[in-house]
Structure 1
Amino acid sequence: MTALKKYARLETTGLWLPRPGEQRREVVVSFGEASLVLSDLATGLALTHWSLAALQRRNPGEKVAVYSPGPEDDAELIEISEPAMIEAIETVRSAITRRRPRRGRLRFITTGVVAAGVLLAGIFWLPDALVAHTTRVVPFVKRQQIGTTLLKEMTRFTGAPCASREGLAALDRLTTRLFGSGTVQVVILREGLAEGGSANLPGRFLLVDHRLIENYDTPEVLAGHLLAEKLRTDLSDPLARVLKGSGLTPTVTLLATGDLPAGTLRKQAAEQLQAPPVSLTDEELLAEFSRAQVSVTAYALSLDPTATATRGLIEKDPVPPARARALMPDAEWLALQNVCSR
């Protein structure tokens, strides 16, 4: 797109609100490949990508522009005051709008493409092959959008995620300690997950039950479940799991149009909360805990307090508790334990 190429090198700063109740954060705003990129001010690492096609302005006509990543997304916002960047974003959005087919024509084309795709898929591809192909071509930005929508749908069962400012700040530091900055987004849920459970969603979302924090005296159990859940996302693509649960037609719809049907996401939100976790071998877990330099013993005992089923992990702990370094200061752990207090 000519308009996007014109502004490829333009960047500014903005105030990013990742979630309601969280402190606004100054970030670098720039254009990516069909996306608006928000990056860490200090490191330059990308924190999130917003699809330009879905980008919405929340306050048309105001001097300071407020944008969200989608038409139904009021939780995550970015404030931009630089006139040149605002003008650039509005120019690109207008160009995208002009390029969109008319509504009736788009519906006709989409219906035809999906119908033809379903027919061809049924003839030439097995479902597993179709899912594998789709996961290869879906970009990370779209995975994030799918994960965000699933998380919103899950709030019907889980309530709003825990979001005290001090608790989330402590959680962010722990997550950075385990995985590096901007690698995953951890969401603490009040209910909906099995007690002491965890799950994952497309877009590098890790979900954990609040009792993994509140029921333990130290952060090693939480850290262990986060390491295990991240390992599951590395070994088993979360998007593939969603597509397999959705069926053939929604998968072809995503492949053909770039979107999953709203009804599919609503159904999958409930199913993903109840999905059994991917099994991990002792060898896989030990390698991951060794990489992160975290003791596996507390995690193993949280799975089986008798240690009968997890003795192999405990006996081969790469970082025995006696010489393990503290994962975070006591004050930060206390703040994290109160993350659900608001």
Structure 2
Amino acid sequence: MARRRKTALKKFERLESLALWRSEPDAHRREVTLSFGMSSLIITDHAERPLGHWSLATIERLNPGGSPALYAPDSEASETLEIEDNLMVEAIETVRKAIGRKRPKRGRLRLTIALSASVLIFAAVFLALPKTLRDQASRSLPSATRAEISQLIKEELWKTNGRPCSTAFSKNAISRLQERLFEPFSSNQITFVKFAGDDVWELPDGTFVVGSALVEDFDTPHVVAGFIAAAILEAERTPAIDAFVNSLRIFELIDLLTSGTVSGQAASRFALQMITAPSGLKVDDAFVDFAQEKELALSALIGAVTPLEGSSEVLNEAVNNNQAIATPIMSDGDWVALQAICEDRT
């Protein structure tokens, strides 16, 4: 049965009940404890460890009138809760109806943001903002916000390395690289900056920023293609938006989730983190498979770069056993133009 404490409804001090929680569509159901608070449903395990927070303003009923009641945190229904406790269901429905009846349509987003902010502040102060909330933030950011974040990071990178390099003659070469490495109709792009290191940085909007040394210091485009390929695989393992969200301080994260804004300080700190991170080519089985799929010349990477620890053996073995045929990425004229892309930068 539900226990009474302090809630959004005056008739209850607070409500707690058991429920069955499914963390994702394919996950098994798990018995959890629900706490009905001032602006949210708080989900905990039986050891009182937090598992999630649902804003009362956005909860959706998936089976109106059905039993047990089935709820989701939003219209995407990425998680679900099955609740049999009639008192808890009555409280949730009361709040849902009150919000739907009273709030103006134009103010819905504002109310949702305010309630979400309350949840996030509670989590930040009392629960140290669990990793699951950061993961949720990474998944929920719209493309427009990712583009704004990327632009801020770019501005910080440009302060250190200068504006992106571009010439009329190099555009075709960049297009050839993008066609070889990215999937058809991909929105990913490649841009070059004047930089002496062998770095490739992925930004939250899918842009890959490449240091010009990777084309200036080598005789074949297969070297720069190999480094970009490694960055693509690393982005699949740890997307740039995840790395950026994880770099945010608690209240910076709250600002991002509630208002969609990021401070210049946060962008500057992340850009510095990117620039100072250890560089090098990570060669593993996934890289070898990807390189062979894209018909890259693995042999071009031997001696041209200093791979990360453990990568040299994998690279040498792959070259010795590689039966795939590498194909030209671009014409000699395009390659010469790409090598000169940052020629006018000092």
Is the TM-score greater than 0.5?
yes
Shift of the alpha carbon at 1:181?
4.5
* 1:213 matched to 2:215: yes
Query: Among residues 148, 165, 170, which one is paired with 2:168 in the alignment?
Result: 165
Opposite residue 326 of structure 1, the aligned amino acid is: P
**Partner of residue 194, structure 2:** 190
Among 251, 255, 262, which residue is 1:253 paired with? Answer: 255
| Larger Rg over CA atoms | 2
The one-letter code matched in structure 1 to 2:228 is L
Alignment correspondent of 1:327: 329
Residue 136 of structure 1 corresponds to 139
Q: Could you tell me whether the CA contact under 8 Å between 2:283 and 2:312 is conserved in 1? A: no
Secondary structure in 2 matching 1:301: coil
| 1:23-46 CA-partner distances (Å, limit 9, x unpaired) | xxxxxxxxxxxxxxxxxxxxxxxx
Following superposition, the deviation at residue 117 of structure 1 comes to 2.2
Change (3 A) 1:250 1:326: same
Letter in 2 for 1:286: V
Residues in 2 aligned to 1:293 and 1:311: alpha-carbon distance in whole angstroms = 20
Partner of 1:156, secondary structure, is: helix
Alignment of 1:234-273 (within 5 A): 234-273=236-275
After TM superposition, give the deviation of residue 299 of structure 1 in Å: 2.8
- Please say which of residues 165-174 and 201-210 is displaced more in the overlay: 165-174
Classify 1:314/1:140 alpha carbon distance in 2 versus 1 (closer, same or farther; 3 Å): farther
Matched residue type, 2:338: L
Aligned-partner Cα distance in 1 for 2:286–2:135 = 23
Percent of paired sites with the same residue? 23
Aligned to 2:288: 286
Q: 2:232 and 2:181 mapped to 1: Cα distance?
A: 10
Decide whether the 8 Å contact of 2:193 with 2:210 is kept in 1: yes
Amino acid at match of 1:242: F
Count of residue pairs the alignment pairs up: 236
**Corresponding position of 1:152:** 155
Equivalent-residue separation in structure 1 for 2:321 and 2:179 (angstroms):
19
TM norm structure 1? 0.61
Distance in 2 (alpha carbons) for counterparts of 1:115 and 1:264: 22
Which stretch shows the higher mean deviation, 310-319 or 222-231? 310-319
The structure with higher relative contact order (CA 8 Å, sep 6+) is 1
Please report how far the alpha carbon of residue 190 of structure 1 lies from its aligned counterpart in structure 2 after TM superposition.
0.7
Picking from 116, 119, 124, the partner of 1:121 is: 124
Query: Conserved in 2, the CA contact under 8 Å of 1:153 and 1:265?
Result: yes
Residue ranges of structure 1 left out of the alignment (5+ in a row): 1-98
Over residues 97-117 of structure 1, what are the superposed CA-to-partner deviations in whole Å (9 max), with x where a residue is unaligned? xx999xxxx9xx989964662
**Secondary structure of the equivalent of 1:253?**
helix
Q: Please, which runs of 5 or more residues in structure 2 have no aligned partner? A: 1-104
* Equivalent position of 2:342 in the other structure: 340
Q: Distance in 1 between matches of 2:282 and 2:117?
A: 37
Paired with 1:152 and 1:252, the residues of 2 have a C-alpha distance of: 23
Question: Partners of 1:260 and 1:215 in 2: how far apart?
Answer: 37
Q: 2-side partners of 1:134 and 1:110: how far apart?
A: 13
User: What TM-score does the superposition give when structure 2 sets the normalisation length?
Assistant: 0.60
Report what 1:301 is aligned to: 303
